[in-house]
């Protein structure tokens, strides 16, 4: 069965879909780059966006590759490759694949129990459960973005009116602060979950849970502080593109030694 | 003139975005049937329906929330791409926020739209490339990547990412960060079963922080 799941036709089907998505990404990238130049944006800034995004994505991508390897044992290589290259998310795929395996009557997600029906059913369920983001984008992205930018324009008009009247200008720009706040909330939830996991993960207040994520996060934050110091105080601006990736790398290395 | 050029660019972005979203959807849902016909067994639709009711509903709700929360961060081009290519919370969102940070653009502007799109596209292509190389080299790479020694490193990609991001964002407003950090920590300590639901718990945490930020902003005119 596993050799069937690793056969050439499956590689071709999955590879073709991934190629399609890669081409879409290239089209969006070229269009955005050209539009940026037309709008008078600095070429160097656009290039730095590309460099920083690539370096940023390398390590998480290797993590995702591990997800492919983990799932390839039971589902073959091509299907997890497709799932995790396109639309999938690391935490999602494994969970849904497991649940789907239970629904088709497998005891667990394993190659020895896999049948053709089980495989195509699991594959379909993995596709269906996560398709909503695309559907919502298809129907509502335009209206939603237009609504948001309508608000933005109104805020801008308000600000201009305020400036003309020489009055308060501080209401403008809460959008940016809201993004920062959202992110602070998001990061807080994750950091809180690591601390909670250590303190109560193995029973309330037993302090026997995994300490590694906390150490990794702290080390990574400290390294980030060093990067920020050098890029801001010593004006090594180029460092910014590598700061997150560099901090993550050191944090992950520390995990090996604790 | 720039305004009308950008409007035209936006219209085309939505047109392309919608088309490729629809095509990608058809390909992804169609693939299991195509593969099934090669294997000689089509999917068991009854089991799919049952499975969907048991796990799919949660993901449907979280997809709606993701769409509402992330679309403003990503803009239109970045939004379409990110929802096709996935891995939002562990990669795309932080990646786009980081790019914005470096470029210094503010939300809702054309510059921001361009930077987000470039960032998501570059990030997606990086993942696609690394996975393709990984799959080609799977046989020699597998023992290295799965070696006992390296396991802890890869198990901690997400804490490493959020540690670095924490420094970057908490320093913008330490006062603001204290509240959600303390509340979420206490919550997770007393209700450890919520830890497996962290991806959903970011919603109340984010909402709370935005609320507090708004109060600070109204009072002081900034959150720093």
Encode chain B (224 residues) as per-residue pLDDT tens digits.
456 899 999 999 999 999 999 999 999 999 999 999 998 888 888 888 888 887 777 678 778 878 888 888 888 999 999 999 988 877 898 899 899 988 988 877 899 999 999 999 999 999 999 999 999 988 787 777 777 888 888 788 888 888 998 998 899 889 999 999 999 999 999 999 888 777 678 788 988 998 999 999 888 888 87
Residue B16 lies in a domain: no
> What domain range is B188 assigned to?
172-224
> What percentage of chain A exceeds 70 in pLDDT?
89
Could you report the per-residue pLDDT of A125-137, keeping only the tens digit for each?
888 888 888 899 9
CA-based nearest distance A94→chain B, Å: 12
Residue A107, burial from CB neighbour count under 10 angstroms (0-12, 13-18, 19+): exposed
- Give the pLDDT score at A199: 94
Least confident segment among A16-30, A88-102, A213-227: A88-102
- Give the pLDDT score at A170: 39
Triad B170, B175, B177: Cα angle to 5°: 40
Pull the structure tokens for residue A205: 């207040």
- Give the pLDDT score at A171: 42
CB contact under 8 A, B36 and A116: yes
Residue B187 lies in a domain: yes
- Give the pLDDT score at B150: 81
Chain center to CA of B178: 24
CB contact under 8 A, B24 and A123: no
- Give the pLDDT score at A165: 45
Report in angstroms the alpha-carbon separations of B114 from A42, A92, A176, B9, B74: 12, 29, 16, 10, 10
Please, which pLDDT band fits residue A155 given cuts at 50, 70 and 90?
low
Please, which pLDDT band fits residue A107 given cuts at 50, 70 and 90?
confident
Q: What is the pTM (predicted TM-score) of this model? A: 0.81
Cα(B124)–Cα(B77) distance, integer angstroms: 13
Most distant CA pair in chain A, distance? 75
- Give the pLDDT score at B182: 96
Please, which pLDDT band fits residue A162 given cuts at 50, 70 and 90?
very low
Whether A92 has a pLDDT exceeding 80, the answer reads no
At residue B23, φ and ψ (nearest 5 deg) are: -65, -45
Structural domain count of chain B = 1
CA-based nearest distance B44→chain A, Å: 6
Cα(B142)–Cα(B134) distance, integer angstroms: 9
CB contact under 8 A, A120 and B43: yes
* Stretch A56-67: mean pLDDT: 86
Pull the structure tokens for residue A4: 């069937």
Chain A residues whose CB is inside 8 A of the B183 CB are 188, 192
- Give the pLDDT score at A172: 47
DSSP A130: T
- Give the pLDDT score at A105: 78
B17, B124, B159: residue with CB nearest A217: B159
Maximum average pLDDT range among A46-60, A70-84, A228-242: A46-60
3 state SS for chain B: CHHHHHHHHHHHHHHHHHHHHHHHHHHHHHHHHHHHHHHCCCCCHHHHHHHHHHHHHHHHHHHHHHHHHHHHHHHHHHHHHHHHHCCHHHHHHHHHHHHHHHHCCCCCCHHHHHHHHHHHHHHHHHHHHHHHHHHHCHHHHHHHHCCCCCHHHHHCHHHHHHHHHHHHHHCCCHHHHHHHHHHHHHHHHHCHHHHHHHHHHHHHHHHHHHHHHHHHHHHHCCCC
Triad A48, A52, A58: Cα angle to 5°: 150
Residue B199 lies in a domain: yes
Cα(B206)–Cα(B12) distance, integer angstroms: 32
Cα(B161)–Cα(A255) distance, integer angstroms: 13
Triad B76, B82, B85: Cα angle to 5°: 145
| Burial A73-92, CB ≥16 within 10 A → b, else e | ebbbbbbbbbbbbbbbbbbb
* Cβ(B113)–Cβ(B93) below 8 Å: no
Whether A96 has a pLDDT exceeding 50, the answer reads yes
Least confident segment among A52-56, A73-77, B27-31: A73-77
CA dihedral B6, B8, B14, B19 (to 10 degrees): -140
Residue B177 lies in a domain: yes
Pull the structure tokens for residue A27: 């089209």
Cα(B216)–Cα(B224) distance, integer angstroms: 9
Cα(A235)–Cα(A232) distance, integer angstroms: 5
Residue B182 lies in a domain: yes
Least confident segment among A35-44, A144-153, B48-57: A144-153
Please, which pLDDT band fits residue A157 given cuts at 50, 70 and 90?
low
Cα(B107)–Cα(A45) distance, integer angstroms: 17
Least confident segment among A144-148, A158-162, A186-190, B185-189: A158-162
CB contact under 8 A, B39 and A4: yes
Pull the structure tokens for residue B64: 């709606």
- Give the pLDDT score at A154: 54
Chain A residues whose CB is inside 8 A of the B207 CB are 185
CB contact under 8 A, A96 and B55: yes
* Cβ(A64)–Cβ(A86) below 8 Å: no
pLDDT, chain A, mean? 84
Whether A60 has a pLDDT exceeding 60, the answer reads yes
């Amino acid at each position: 069965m596993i050799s069937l799941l690793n056969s050439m036709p499956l590689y071709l089907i999955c590879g073709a879909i991934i190629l399609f998505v890669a081409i879409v990404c290239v089209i969006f990238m070229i269009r955005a780059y050209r539009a940026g130049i037309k709008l008078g944006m600095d070429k160097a800034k656009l290039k730095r966006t590309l460099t920083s995004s690539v370096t940023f994505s390398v390590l998480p991508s290797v993590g995702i590759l591990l997800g492919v390897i983990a799932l390839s044992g039971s589902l073959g290589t091509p299907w997890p490759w497709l799932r995790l290259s396109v639309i999938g998310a690391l935490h999602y795929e494994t969970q849904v694949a497991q649940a789907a395996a239970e629904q088709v009557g497998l005891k667990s997600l394993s190659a020895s129990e896999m049948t053709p029906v089980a495989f195509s059913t699991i594959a379909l369920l993995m596709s269906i459960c996560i398709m909503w983001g695309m559907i919502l984008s298809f129907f509502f992205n335009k209206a939603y973005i237009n609504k948001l930018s309508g608000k933005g324009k109104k805020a801008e008009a308000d600000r201009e009116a305020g400036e003309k009247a020489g009055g308060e200008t501080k209401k403008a720009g809460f959008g940016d602060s809201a993004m920062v706040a959202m992110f602070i909330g998001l990061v807080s939830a994750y950091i809180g979950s690591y601390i909670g996991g250590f303190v109560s993960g193995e029973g309330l207040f037993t302090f026997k849970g995994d300490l590694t994520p906390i150490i990794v996060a702290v080390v990574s934050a400290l390294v980030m502080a060093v990067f920020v110091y050098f890029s801001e105080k010593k004006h090594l601006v180029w460092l910014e593109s590598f700061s997150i990736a560099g901090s993550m790398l050191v944090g992950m290395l520390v995990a090996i030694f604790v | 003139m720039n305004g009308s050029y950008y409007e035209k660019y936006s219209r085309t972005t939505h047109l392309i975005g919608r088309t490729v979203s629809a095509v990608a959807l058809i390909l992804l849902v169609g693939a299991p049937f195509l593969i099934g016909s090669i294997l000689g067994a089509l999917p068991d639709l009854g089991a799919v329906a049952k499975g969907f009711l048991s796990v799919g509903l949660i993901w449907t709700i979280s997809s709606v929330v993701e769409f509402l929360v992330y679309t403003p961060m990503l803009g239109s081009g970045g939004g379409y791409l990110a929802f096709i290519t996935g891995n939002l919370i562990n990669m795309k969102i932080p990646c786009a926020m980081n790019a914005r940070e470096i470029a210094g653009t503010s939300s809702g502007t054309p510059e921001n739209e361009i930077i987000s799109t470039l960032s998501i596209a570059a990030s997606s292509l990086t993942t696609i490339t690394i996975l393709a190389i990984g799959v080609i080299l799977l046989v020699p790479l597998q023992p290295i990547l799965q070696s006992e020694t390296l396991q802890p490193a890869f198990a901690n990609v997400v804490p490493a990412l959020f540690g670095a991001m924490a420094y970057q964002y908490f320093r913008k407003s330490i006062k603001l960060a204290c509240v959600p950090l303390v509340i979420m920590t206490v919550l997770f300590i007393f209700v450890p079963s919520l830890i497996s639901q962290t991806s959903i718990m970011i919603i109340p945490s984010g909402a709370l922080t935005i609320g507090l930020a708004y109060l600070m902003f109204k009072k002081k005119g900034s959150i720093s």
